[in-house]
């Protein structure tokens, strides 16, 4: 009999310990230099990040949410504008649109990839639509090629919410590199996590990059001269120093997650558990390994009794959130989104997760769903 194991959803200490000295040295350099906000550490990280994402520019900002907000400000989103996005995503996607007085216009997802369904986008375009904001959910890129084609036909900008997808690829090209701008989050649970809040905007557009650099410091190009109204979106140097160290290990961590995902795929094949589907041409970084099960809440509770932590991303669709009631949506408007909210369960998949634990989770999940 296999004894009960304690399986964490994420173990940040396991990631930190092997690189502890290197990280502490990098933080120490910032402490000694006392260049605490933006400055050399941030510039160095921005260059490495732009290389990694295969974009011309990377602009470090204070969080993934601020990356979205700053990017939308950078393309001039204003009250009354409409921005198309999925309803099945983290709150920040639509929250950033609404904070600018613009209207989030929701579109349903594809059941297989959990990403926005490009076939449903055109019907939602009006003369107020300014942008499309696809989300690369759980580490798999949205169908950016199809979305770009729609956007260019209607002269819209594509701001990619790649918060969960740094290094993910579609047709061999990384997240952020195929859209007008891509937004990244370095929240500690993301594949590349800072030691606090941090984010970035990646783009190939020189003018937009320049605008975002100003917007992140209250719209100021030169000290105390404000050309536009921006925000306080600066990246702290200590975060950049940590990210600079961690970026070197990111591909190894992606590979380890993918190995865990492949093992789950194999162990759960042919069962009632629906494993994640990766689109043809996509390379997922598995920020989350999300299965679908019936009686999800019960299955989650049974696993917890066996010592296994899981999570539900996301239990409530954005169109049913109280703060978006004014948009006038109702239950039933986005059937695939609503079904996903009832069925999804994220299993532990972090890079350092031991193989025996993957096997244990799969075994207990099969037992709980028999
Ligand atoms: C994490 C996340 C964000 C926000 O990033 P923060 O750094 O937490 O502000 C935005 N969108 C998606 C899809 C995310 O997963």
**% of the chain surpassing 90 pLDDT:** 97
| pLDDT score for 224 | 85
The predicted model gives 191-212 an average pLDDT of 98
CA of 143 to the centre of ligand 1 (A): 19
- Which tens digits make up the pLDDT trace of 303-351? 999 999 999 999 999 999 999 999 999 999 999 999 999 999 999 999 9
Q: Helices (DSSP H) in 34-181: which residue ranges?
A: 40-53, 64-74, 91-99, 144-153
CA of 14 to the centre of ligand 1 (A): 23
288 lines ligand 1 (CB under 6 A): no
| pLDDT score for 1 | 52
- Which tens digits make up the pLDDT trace of 15-46? 999 999 999 999 999 999 999 999 999 999 99
Beta bridge partners, 184, equal 200
3 pLDDT higher than 70 = no
- Closest ligand 1 atom to Cα of 197: 7
The position carrying tokens 């990646």 is 202
The predicted model gives 67-85 an average pLDDT of 98
Give the DSSP per-residue string, 81-92. -EEEEESSS-HH
CA of 184 to the centre of ligand 1 (A): 8
CA of 229 to the centre of ligand 1 (A): 23
Provide the 10 A C-beta neighbour count for residue 65. Answer: 23
96 lines ligand 1 (CB under 6 A): no
CA of 3 to the centre of ligand 1 (A): 37
pLDDT band at 146 (very low <50, low <70, confident <90, very high): very high
93 lines ligand 1 (CB under 6 A): yes
CA-wise closest residue to 278 among 269, 268, 266, 265:
265
Domain boundaries, the chain: 14-107+116-247, 249-368
* 338/157 Cα distance (integer angstroms): 27
Q: What is the mean pLDDT of the chain?
A: 97
* 102/335 Cα distance (integer angstroms): 24
**% of the chain surpassing 70 pLDDT:** 99
282 lines ligand 1 (CB under 6 A): no
2 pLDDT higher than 70 = no
What pTM does this model have?
Answer: 0.97
103 pLDDT higher than 60 = yes
179 lines ligand 1 (CB under 6 A): no
CA of 272 to the centre of ligand 1 (A): 31
177 lines ligand 1 (CB under 6 A): no
The predicted model gives 261-287 an average pLDDT of 98
Helix or strand run (H / E) with residue 253: helix 250-268
89 lines ligand 1 (CB under 6 A): yes
Mutate to test the pocket of ligand 1, among 60, 64, 200 (most ligand atoms within 8 A of CB): 64
The predicted model gives 112-139 an average pLDDT of 98
CA-wise closest residue to 190 among 61, 309, 261, 287:
287
148 lines ligand 1 (CB under 6 A): no
Domain covering 249-368, topology: 3.90.1150
Domain 14-107+116-247 CATH assignment equals 3.40.640.10: yes
| pLDDT score for 53 | 98
CA atoms within 13 A on the CB side of 249: 20
- Closest ligand 1 atom to Cα of 198: 7
Q: Helices (DSSP H) in the chain: which residue ranges?
A: 12-16, 20-33, 40-53, 64-74, 91-99, 144-153, 206-215, 237-247, 250-268, 296-305, 335-343, 355-369
161 lines ligand 1 (CB under 6 A): yes
């Amino acid at each position: 009999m296999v004894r009960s194991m304690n399986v964490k959803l994420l173990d940040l200490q396991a990631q930190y310990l092997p690189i502890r000295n290197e990280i502490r040295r990098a933080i120490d350099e910032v402490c000694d230099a006392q260049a605490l906000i933006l400055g050399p550490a941030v510039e160095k990280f921005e260059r490495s990040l732009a290389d990694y994402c295969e974009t011309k520019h990377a602009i470090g900002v204070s969080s993934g949410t601020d990356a979205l907000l700053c990017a939308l400000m950078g393309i001039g989103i204003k009250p009354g504008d409409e921005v198309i996005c999925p309803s099945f995503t983290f709150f920040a996607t639509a929250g950033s649109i609404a904070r600018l007085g613009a209207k989030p216009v929701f579109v349903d997802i594809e059941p297989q990839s959990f990403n926005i369904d490009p076939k449903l986008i055109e019907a939602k375009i009006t003369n107020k639509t300014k942008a499309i904001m696809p989300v690369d959910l759980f580490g798999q890129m949205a169908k950016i090629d199809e979305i770009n084609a729609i956007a260019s036909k209607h002269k819209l900008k594509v701001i990619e919410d790649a918060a969960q997808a740094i290094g993910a690829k579609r047709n061999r090209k990384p997240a952020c590199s195929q859209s007008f701008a891509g937004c990244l989050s370095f929240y500690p649970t993301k594949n590349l996590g800072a030691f606090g809040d941090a984010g970035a905007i990646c783009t190939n557009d020189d003018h937009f990059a320049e605008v975002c650099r100003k917007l992140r410091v209250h719209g100021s190009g030169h000290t105390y001269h404000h050309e536009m109204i921006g925000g306080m979106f600066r990246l702290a140097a200590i975060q950049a120093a940590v990210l600079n160290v961690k970026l070197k290990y990111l591909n190894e961590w992606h590979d380890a997650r993918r190995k865990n995902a492949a093992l789950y795929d194999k162990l759960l094949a042919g069962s009632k558990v629906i494993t994640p589907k990766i689109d043809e041409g996509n390379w997922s970084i598995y920020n989350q390994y999300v299965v679908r099960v019936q009686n999800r809440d019960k299955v989650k509770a049974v696993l917890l009794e066996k010592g296994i932590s899981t999570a539900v991303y996301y239990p409530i669709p954005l169109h049913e959130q109280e703060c978006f009631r004014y948009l006038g949506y109702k239950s039933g408007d986005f059937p695939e989104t609503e079904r996903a909210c009832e069925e999804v369960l994220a299993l532990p998949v972090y890079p350092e997760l031991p193989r025996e634990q993957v096997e244990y989770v799969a075994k207990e999940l099969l037992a709980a769903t028999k």
